[in-house]
Structure formats: structure tokens, C-alpha cells
Amino acid sequence: MNYLDLYHHWLRFDGLDSILKEELQQIQEHELEIQERFSQSLSFGTAGIRGIIGAGTNRMNVYTVRKLAHGLGEWLHHENLAEKGVAIGYDTRHCSVEFAGEVAKVLLHHGVKVYLFKQICPSPELSFAVRYHEAAAGIMVTASHNPPNYNGIKVYGADGAQISPHITNQILENISRISDEFMIPVADLSEAEASGSLVWLGSEIDQTYYKNIASLAFQTNDQNKYFRIVYSPLHGTGRLPIESVLSQRGFEHVFVVPEQADPDPNFSTVKSPNPEDPASFQLAIAYANEQQADLVLVTDPDADRIGIAIRDENNQFVHLTGNQIGALLLYYLLSQRLERGELPSNGAMVKSIVSSDLGESIASHFGVKTQNTLTGFRYIGEFIQKWKQTGEYKFLFGYEESYGYLIGDFCRDKDATQACLLLAELGAYYQKQGMPIHQVLDTIYKEFGYFQETQISVTLEGLEGSKQLKEIMIRTRSNPPSHVAGIAVCSIQDYLQGVEGFPKADVLKYLLEDGSWFAIRPSGTEPKMKCYVGVKGSSSTKAEEKKIAIKEYLADWLGF
């Protein structure tokens, strides 16, 4: 069927949800809107689907969710994994509870055992639950830090990491055979519960997850009791785990931003529920000044990303980049392990190719291997699993510049609760030594070099936006610059054509003569084109000047 036929098929379906039917009736005279909703289906991005909630094959709704669940259920049945089951979690977004229930009902119809959370949970806890119950897969209903009109589904494999492209392709093949999404059969949850096919996950899994995180701490509880923290979950899932873990580790002065403490699917106090955005810290910083706090922690709605603000030399709060947070965590972790004689001779850390080279410099100083990966935490998870099996390296830390960090491998996705604990602890530890966090960061720069990074991104939504994203990548491949801001380009790594040791991906990375670099790629989770810049200077000022010059050149070259 073409998009108009699909539109009328949906409109004529008697069982269509009344809200969705009303949406479709309102666009009867708007062919471009109909085309936008029905000319394609939601595509798999980074190990899942994500999109605007609404009616249509290119929207998040009960029927698109059932299609994905059916594709997963068919794969599990074919691989004889139904009895191992699937863990299902969900966040605070619109329709998250409903979508989780629909996934459960479809999987149960396929004879798949289901472990369903009773209440909201962070994405990393869902990853933990997959491993804890030795399930075959996991589903997390979330759109992470996207705007409130979005929702999505992340799919996890048996190791707790986001699924591989190989499994994704098999699920997509199963989905492609669905002739009518309205005819996908579902089970009854009450009957499944009575038969034991549906298992509810409650406080037991929560407490076990929190205990594992608390075990990552280096310092005694007494060390932490006077350190003052303001925390915001941005209306998401982070409050319970982060308050619980910090309390377990002796932090007695943790203040949750009142206006952002409770779940709110509209994220009504922020323009964007994203800790990468300094604007999301406005209420938290104001509250931190009231409470005379030493540190501000902010997590996104599914509590996998964390941002922080620290006091600078003028006692004013400043927002740190994801790379700066990564450098602080890595330096603290490795120095603490070294001090305790717990730094393995085969230690390794994993970071994405668009993250700062500062991390590699720190790791090298401690004799720790750096493994670079493509963007997407599933690649970090793949190396953790590989090293577990081969014993070649001992995983110590994984991170991406986009505010995602992992210390303990008992889960295999970025985990804001783990990072919150270690960031709070390092703040308290250095404060005892008379060093505020900004001085620790300055010490790192002086020892390892003045690295700076920045990013340019442009949002290109809809069918036209998708077309523009492809055109930008074609244009940059066909017309590469020989110099950028007066610095010669010495090599180009085209990951779509193939770079040794990496899977193929639509990413271009340009290496410059002075050690600077920039990379361009379309986002795997948002309708955005992203350009990353990394530089190193002889001083903070020199690095800043170089970063600005390269960024300005690239914005003009890319037409951003």
C-alpha cells in the first residue's frame, strides 16, 4: 500500500484508539502531513526505535510498539529463547506504562516469559535486570532526553548491552512480514500472572541494583557526611536510586530540587530534559546557592546520562562538558585503584571516537589501554563482554562525550547513578584535601595537556530533514577541505567505506596536522546532524582560540 492507502486503512479500522482516530480525521486535507506519517515506518536507530507519539506508521503508538514486540517474539521463538524471558522497564514519559504493557502482552502471546517492572526504573537498571534474571533480552520504554512529545524503545541483548545489528536485522525481517499491525494477537496480563508467565519486578531488584552500585565506592561513609549536594532528576526516574545510593554511602546533605523531584511527562520546568544543555541546570543552580551546596548533579529522564555543575575560582557554578566529567571520573578511579594496589596490569578503558583525547592521555599515564569505539554504548558493551570471555583486558571504565559513563559492569549501559556516586565521592575526597573540584580539573590539564572540545548540531526533522542529512554527508565526502582554519588536513577516516577494527558506520573523521580533529555524523537517536571538534593547546587560552577558529570554519563549510 502507498501512504494514502495506509492512511485510509488506519482511518477505517473500527478498533483504532479514539485519540489516534481524531488525529487522523484532523489531517484529511493535509497530504504532506499524511505522507510524513505513513510514507515510512519508524526505523531502528541505536538499537531501538524512537519517534513522536501519534497516529501513523512513522509515529510511536500501540500498533508500532506491537510490531516491534512481535518481531522480537518471533526471533526469541526461533532461537528457542522464549523460556529465558524478557525484562521490561519504562520511564516517566507519556504512554510509557501503556507501551510496556503492550510489549508484554505481545511477547506473552508468543510464549515468552516476561519480567515486568511494577514502577518506573532507569534504563541501566533494566540492563541490570536482564543480567540478574539471565533473561534472553530486555525492553526499555524511553526516549531518553528527547522532547516530551517523543517516546521510544531500547532493545537489549542477553548480556545487558543494547542489541547488535545482527539481531536487529533479524527482528526487522520478522517485522517486514507483518501484513497488518492491527491483527497482531496479544495475551491477557491477568491470565499470564496467574500462570506464572508474567513476573512482576519490585523492591528486590531495586535493592540489589543499589547494593551493587554502592559497592563501587572507595571511601568510608564518614568521609562523605559533610559534603553538600543538590540533585535534580528532571522529572524522571533517577530520584529513588540516586537518593538511596548516596544515603547508603553516608551523604547526609543531599537536596533534591523540589520543582523537579516528581515525575512529569511534560518536563514542564525545562525547555529540554537534557543535562547536556546548561539551561536545564537553572533551577538546580539557584537551589544550590540557597543550600550552599558544593556540587550540582542532574540526570536525564531515564537516568542514564548525568551532567554536573561545580563552583569555579569565583565561587560561581559552571556547567562541565561530558569530556571534562569523563576526565575527572577516570583520573579519580585510576588514582584510587593505584593507591590501593588494585590497578590491574591489563586494565582497559573504552571511549567513543568522538570523545576527547584527554581520556587516552590519562589512561596511558596509569598504564591502562584505551579502546576506541564508534558512538553508541552497545559498542562499549561488546568489548566488556569480549574481555570477560577472553580475559585479555580487565574493563575499568567506559564513557562517551554525550554524558554517559559506566564503572561497574554488572549493567552494560551508561549509568548515571554509578557516576553520581563516584562524582559525589571524589568531590568529598578532594574537599577534605582542600581542593575544590575546579582545582582538580586544572591539575589534570596541567599534567596531561590543555584539551578542549566543542560540538555543532542542527536539527532536521521529518522527511525533508532526513533527505538533508543524507545530502550533507554526500557533500562532505565529495568535497573535503585540505585546510581547516589554516591547519592542514592530514588524513580522513571514512567509517562507511571501512576503517580497520571498526564496523561500518556513516561517520567521517578528519585528522589535522597539529593533532586537532573533527568528526561528522547523523545522530542515531535524534533527527540531528552532529559535528564534533577536538583540539589541544599549549595553554587554556591557546586551546580556546584554536577551538573557536575551527568551529567557525566548520559552521560556514557545513552551512550550519
Look at residue 46 in the predicted model and tell me its pLDDT: 63
The CA-atom distances, in angstroms, between 30 and each of 12, 26, 304 are 18, 8, 38
Look up the pTM and report it.
Answer: 0.95
- Which of 96, 123, 144, 232 is catalytic? The answer is 144
Instruction: Compute the distance between CA of residue 232 and CA of residue 227 in angstroms, rounded to an integer.
Output: 17
Spatial strand order in the sheet of 528-537: 450-459, 528-537, 517-522, 508-512, 487-494, 483-484
Residue that has been written with the C-alpha cell 508467565 in this structure: 197
If one counts every other C-beta atom within 10 angstroms of the C-beta of residue 427, the result is: 26
Could you tell me the three cell numbers for 106?
505481545
If one counts every other C-beta atom within 10 angstroms of the C-beta of residue 122, the result is: 31
pLDDT in tens, 12-48: 999 999 999 999 999 999 999 999 999 999 988 767 8
Residue 523 appears among annotated catalytic residues: no
Could you tell me the three cell numbers for 468?
538533508
User: How many helices (H) and strands (E) in the chain?
Assistant: 18, 21
Kindly state the percentage of the chain with pLDDT values over 70: 100
Digits of tens for pLDDT over the chain (560 positions)? 899 999 999 999 999 999 999 999 999 999 999 999 999 999 887 678 999 999 999 999 999 999 999 999 999 999 999 999 999 999 999 999 999 999 999 999 999 999 999 999 999 999 999 999 999 999 999 999 999 999 999 999 999 999 988 899 999 999 999 999 999 999 999 999 999 999 999 999 999 999 999 999 999 999 999 999 999 999 999 999 999 999 999 999 999 999 999 999 999 999 999 999 999 999 999 999 999 999 999 999 999 999 999 999 999 999 999 999 999 999 999 999 999 999 999 999 999 999 999 999 999 999 999 999 999 999 999 999 999 999 999 999 999 999 999 999 999 999 999 999 999 999 999 999 999 999 999 999 999 999 999 999 998 888 888 888 899 999 999 999 999 999 999 999 999 999 999 999 999 999 999 999 999 999 877 788 999 999 999 999 999 999 999 999 999 998 87
Could you tell me the three cell numbers for 335?
588514582
Residue that has been written with the C-alpha cell 504493557 in this structure: 101
Could you tell me the three cell numbers for 149?
512529545
Look at residue 132 in the predicted model and tell me its pLDDT: 98
Instruction: Compute the distance between CA of residue 68 and CA of residue 59 in angstroms, rounded to an integer.
Output: 13
Instruction: Compute the distance between CA of residue 502 and CA of residue 382 in angstroms, rounded to an integer.
Output: 12
